[in-house]
Structure 1
């Protein structure tokens, strides 16, 4: 897993659903960066929201995507971080802008149009690159929302590229090899989501926890008859932090009605920076220090649910965790009812609706 959201943002299999946020959340995150442009957490969280806003509209409304990108670029120019780490991260943030602009340009064209351009000139590297990028944009979203359909489109793309490669000949061999690598990455994402879909209805995995943080230890018996929400996350993950308001809300609404939220994470060599009031990468951090950091991190963000340091990878492997945040909802019978990847509002609504179904409607907070 990468610590920087911008490295993730440049991956060819990026899903808009994985980082999109509500406009209100994005505005709050923007204000947090403005208040402290040296905050790595704030920069990561804001960029997750801003990039998500652009990506979520590229296919449906490229004009809106271009407007959002312009606003993001203009805002970044107003920031003047002073710490080397924040300056480096801001440089990466600015580097994302032209990449997203290219995607918006491709968003104004259809996959069929770009495929036809390759068919007319199989050896044209730019035509092939545009087709590959458009295919990535389409399938990276479908991989999460409709993995079965995405698998069919991918199979057709493999056949098409094999045919064009034979016509293009040796000069274009490397370009087609790169396209094949992208398809392999997309295939992995699609297969992972098909596997996650297949988890629904299966028994929950046994707890595999090395250490508990922010609460007393739990056993399998403690969870029996409860609705359990597993939140796979990391302290460096901006989109994970963006889900915290929902986790806090659900814990408040359903904590007394049978919901147990477990934040599953790992050791990442982070300690608590008292001056900056944030988690910071720190070499040679001991497990004890990192657990103490997580206690302070939870208090800083107002989180009341338990964190659990995983013992090995058995839980992540069982639940097919390849990107975070990932939420798994387990019902009172101990069966998996839902798996969602990403911090987008659509995912939050789906999880919230299921919790209401399993536990009854949430009581409105007193005014």
Structure 2
């Protein structure tokens, strides 16, 4: 469910805060509340990984959350996290929306000045009948947007930097099959799909197919060791891209577009997001995940090459 996916982002952010104590050498020693909460979260993760996702299986951990809240009765940001993690279990794992909403309402009432209460209120809104209707309408609008793109001229992209050198617009590639892979350096799933993209690039190396990894200025570069701050210095961010490409074995071209990577013209709400453009400049496929084998990206590209009587990849010898 989309609502649960949105809520998972909030849960993940809390888990990141908790785990950051172990990742940052210079960080202060975590408080007893954080240490004990992290221990409970660890038990929950272990059970979930083992497939134990029932209310009965997780009853001991739910009781531990309650005991921890009773032990630390002061209403603080840290204790609010305890309640929030309990609510997350109900919504994300146990699929018990009623108990989740009850817990979230308690957070809003008991911890009104905390950031966690703000997050809880947001999720309450999203899980309300009105919120669900709004989300459903947005999903339908996006579905219609993606459907409307297919067969239409591809929305123009303007590139301020490209590893291809002189590439400044998407339309300059007309005449070839163009595969647009929208991504960012901070996007773990994007990087995880690189091996599959690399395979496609190798497969179509002798065909008129161009792969472009499209990103935009983010203000920092991630996944090259410590995060590199490039805020207010786009030239620095773009200058770092060749090193990033080398480190991640990116064998296709990368371009920074003037348009944001979450480009509304392409209906992009999440990355990675892959679109395939035909040689006549029309969009043929949208919203594909480059790491999803079921998307049959190679098959889709080959079908377009056949349609335009363009050279197909050389078949490997048996």
The two structures have a TM-score, normalised by structure 1, of: 0.51
Q: Per-residue deviation at 1:314?
A: 9.9
The 1:188/1:281 distance shift into structure 2, 3 A limit, reads farther
| 8 Å CA contact retained: 2:211, 2:253 | yes
The 1:221/1:208 distance shift into structure 2, 3 A limit, reads closer
Aligned match of 2:302: 356
Q: Does 1:270 align with 2:220?
A: yes
- Within 1, Cα distance between the matches of 2:175 and 2:125? 54
Aligned match of 1:194: 144
Give the alignment of 1:283-322 within 5 angstroms.
284=231, 286-313=233-260, 316-322=263-269
The 1:242/1:362 distance shift into structure 2, 3 A limit, reads farther
The 1:183/1:317 distance shift into structure 2, 3 A limit, reads same
Aligned match of 1:261: 211
> 1 or 2 for the larger relative contact order (CA 8 Å, sep ≥6)?
1
| 8 Å CA contact retained: 1:239, 1:343 | no
Q: Per-residue deviation at 1:195?
A: 0.9
Q: Does 1:11 align with 2:6?
A: yes
- Within 2, Cα distance between the matches of 1:285 and 1:215? 24
Listed one character per residue, the Cα deviations across residues 318-338 of structure 1 (whole Å, up to 9, x for unaligned) are 211121111110111211110
Q: Does 1:70 align with 2:17?
A: no
Q: Per-residue deviation at 1:206?
A: 2.1
The 1:252/1:303 distance shift into structure 2, 3 A limit, reads same
SS at match of 1:255: coil
The 1:362/1:233 distance shift into structure 2, 3 A limit, reads same
The 1:216/1:176 distance shift into structure 2, 3 A limit, reads closer
Q: Does 1:203 align with 2:153?
A: yes
Aligned match of 2:134: 184
| 8 Å CA contact retained: 2:87, 2:100 | no
SS at match of 1:323: coil
Q: Does 1:282 align with 2:282?
A: no
Which 5+ residue runs of structure 2 have no aligned equivalent?
Answer: 10-21, 25-45, 54-80, 103-123, 306-310
Listed one character per residue, the Cα deviations across residues 94-152 of structure 1 (whole Å, up to 9, x for unaligned) are x989846754543xxxxxxx9xxxxxxxxx954988xxxxxxxxxxxxxxxxxxxxxxx
Aligned match of 1:86: none
| 8 Å CA contact retained: 2:158, 2:259 | yes
Q: Per-residue deviation at 1:210?
A: 1.8
| 8 Å CA contact retained: 1:279, 1:297 | no
Q: Per-residue deviation at 1:302?
A: 0.9
Q: 1:217 aligns with which of 153, 162, 166?
A: 166
- Within 1, Cα distance between the matches of 2:49 and 2:174? 47
Q: 2:188 aligns with which of 227, 234, 238?
A: 238
Which 5+ residue runs of structure 1 have no aligned equivalent?
Answer: 1-7, 15-36, 40-65, 74-91, 107-113, 115-123, 130-173
| 8 Å CA contact retained: 1:269, 1:282 | yes
Q: Per-residue deviation at 1:252?
A: 1.2
Aligned match of 1:333: 280
Query: Which of the two has greater helix per residue?
Result: 1
- Within 2, Cα distance between the matches of 1:227 and 1:97? 49
Q: Per-residue deviation at 1:69?
A: 2.9
| 8 Å CA contact retained: 2:126, 2:132 | no
| 8 Å CA contact retained: 1:207, 1:315 | no
- Within 2, Cα distance between the matches of 1:216 and 1:128? 53
Listed one character per residue, the Cα deviations across residues 254-306 of structure 1 (whole Å, up to 9, x for unaligned) are 13201111111111122478xxx447241546212111221111111111222
Give the alignment of 1:94-109 within 5 angstroms.
99=88, 102-106=91-95
- Within 2, Cα distance between the matches of 1:311 and 1:332? 23
- Within 2, Cα distance between the matches of 1:99 and 1:344? 28
| 8 Å CA contact retained: 1:69, 1:97 | no
Q: Per-residue deviation at 1:237?
A: 0.7
